[in-house]
Amino acid sequence: MAKYLIVTGGVVSSLGKGITAASIGRLLINRGLSIRMVKLDPYLNIDPGTMSPYQHGEVYVTDDGAETDLDLGHYERYTGQPTSQKSNITAGRIYWDVLQKERRGDYLGGTVQMIPHISNEIKEKIRRLEDESPDVILIELGGTVGDIEGLIFLEALRQLGADVGRDNSMYIHLTYVPYIKAAKEVKTKPTQQSVAKLREIGILPQILVCRTEVNLTGEHLDKLAMFCNVPRECVIVEKDVETSIYEIPLVLAEQGVDEQILNHFRIVRPSRPLKDWQKLISVIRNPKGTVRIGVVGKYSELQDAYKSIYEALYHGGYAAEYKVDIVKIAAEDIETNPAILKTVSGLLIPGGFGLRGMEGKIRAAQYARENNTPFLGICLGLQCAVIEFARNVCGLTHAHSTEFDAERGVKTEHPVVCLLEEQRNVTEKGGTMRLGAYPCVLEKNTKAFKAYDQEKISERHRHRYEVNNHYREQFEKNGLIISGINPDIGVIEMIELPDHPWFVATQAHPELKSQPVLPHPLFREFIAAAIKKQLMENPS
């Protein structure tokens, strides 16, 4: 049967449970084990799909169309393993499903209670991953020990450990060990209290991962081991890394985390060096140079709103052994200060919703087209490029997307971007998004085809609006290349310009498939083009 590895967090949030869990997953894969990962989120939303980026950051989309927590992005980037609908479980989804069962009469008129009904539903959803026959199911619980909304999840995880037995379950607790600067002292008491809270619930962590800003001495580690009832060799120090979060697998491997896990589960697998990650960190520490890339976004002040975009850009830089300096450009600022676009060697417009900042994004696409600045458009970024091309090359002055008709209070004269139903002249419009992986056929002898080096590809989507095929002939007549088409519904997936160093846009979200050791081809080629431009302008 599958082994269960459960990661909880204590003291404060934002300690990096997702990165730690993903790094442990990487170590287990390196030891030849198959894994699946799942994130438990105690909030009451059904999923993050309708949550504001200001509240939650980006929405990560899986191949099967789940809108999930951004930690699933960490899981896929570090492990290379796909996640799915089964990989993100929220309290909202649990309560929703239990109440639906109650309304159907599934509980035969019995009183529905937190225990056993809610706890059983949590366990049932976690154990669905057993159908995929992994060696290890790695579970991360969001929030911290003591959060009232997380208590039922902790109870379910306690029960899960009892159900499968000690030999098949293991608890890892990630906690914060603060350094009080004024007193010049490390304090272990918060960690002791966090572990004590877990023990009250009935969970006894077998590995303690200590997040800290400073080195911990042997005295600190001995104290933590004794008071938290954890073997000394299982007290792991996860000090802030200086170079990159991608160092964490190496940090944990050096302290033998994977060895402790395998010993607990009585699994014998040979130790192997993380050669690809060692090479990656060497490149990150010793770049050949730095390239400046502008990301023109609506939420430029929020680090997590474009998390996967930023990581994919870094990955593209690693492929060229360059550091990527990301310049976060607020789309609205371009409308008043377009000169900011001259400070970067490449421009990327990410996906998004809503009218705010649209004209700034369109202006950025125009600047990239007219000034031979390497450009990559993602989702809404493709639509901005199409609108700009329609207005300034095709002469369709009032071209726009029907998505914004209501906000603008104007019916678009030239709806170059619209709903599929509008293209087909259907009066009853659906409200569903294109979510998850969709196929695309690439046109040979295009930049996109050369980047992917294959004709048929699949990328993930999250959008409602499409480029209007009624304008396709006019676009192509004026020089726009349609380099990718969805073979099933015939909509435009990718565009590019022929006489441009790199001007490519996609309706998909390729950033969701990029990994540090396997950069996405579009980001790799985009960064390579930006480096080439920078070197031409500044040979020194």
- 3-class DSSP string for 116-174: HHHHHHHHHHHHHHHHHCCCEEEEEECCCCCCHHHHHHHHHHHHHHHHHCHHHEEEEEE
Residues of the chain with pLDDT > 90, as a percent, come to 84
Mean pLDDT (whole number) for 77-88: 95
Q: What is the pLDDT of residue 241?
A: 92
Is 155 one of the annotated active-site residues of the chain?
Answer: no
- What confidence tens digit (pLDDT) does each residue in 376-395 have? 999 999 999 999 999 999 99
**Statement: residue 97 has pLDDT above 90:** yes
* pLDDT for 23: 98
Q: Compute the average pLDDT of residues 75-93.
A: 96
Q: What is the pLDDT of residue 48?
A: 86
Average pLDDT along the chain? 93
Q: Answer whether residue 159 shows pLDDT above 90.
A: yes
- CA dist., res. 21 & res. 29, Å (int): 12
Spot the catalytic one: 234, 509, 520, 525: 509
Beta-carbon contacts of 200 under 8 Å, excluding residues fewer than 6 positions away, are none
Count of all residues that appear for the chain in the document: 540
pLDDT band at 54 (very low <50, low <70, confident <90, very high): low
Q: Residue 427: what pLDDT?
A: 43
Distance CA 51, CA 309 (A): 19
Write down the pTM of the prediction: 0.94
- The answer to whether 344 and 313 are in contact (CB under 8 A) is no
Q: Taking a C-beta distance cutoff of 8 angstroms, is the pair 424, 414 a contact?
A: no
Residue ranges, CATH 3.40.50.300, the chain: 3-174+240-280
Report which listed range, 285-294, 326-335, 404-413, is most confident: 285-294
Edge-first strand listing for the sheet containing 434-442: 322-330, 289-297, 346-349, 375-378, 503-506, 492-496, 481-485, 434-442, 456-463
Question: Per the residue annotation, which of 140, 422, 511, 525 is the catalytic one?
Answer: 511
Is 70 exceeded by the pLDDT of residue 341?
yes
The pLDDT of residue 422 is above 80: no
- CATH number of 3-174+240-280: 3.40.605.10, 3.40.630.30, 2.40.110.10, 3.40.50.300? 3.40.50.300
Q: Which CATH superfamily includes the segment(s) 287-537? A: Class I glutamine amidotransferase (GATase) domain (3.40.50.880)
pLDDT bin (cut points 50, 70, 90) of residue 538 is confident
**Catalytic annotation present for 74:** no
**338 has a pLDDT exceeding 90:** no
pLDDT of residue 431: 52
CA–CA separation, 530 vs 389, rounded Å? 21
3-state secondary structure of 462: strand
* Contact present, 390 and 399 (Cβ < 8 Å): yes
User: How confident is the model over 134-160, as a mean pLDDT?
Assistant: 96
Checking if the pLDDT of 247 tops 90, the result is yes
Which entry of 379, 384, 394, 440 is annotated as an active-site residue? 379
pLDDT value at residue 421? 79
Average pLDDT over residues 520-530: 98
Per-residue confidence (pLDDT) for residue 298, from 0 to 100: 82
- The model's confidence at residue 424, banded by pLDDT at 50, 70 and 90, is low
Q: What is the mean predicted confidence (pLDDT) over 125-154? A: 95
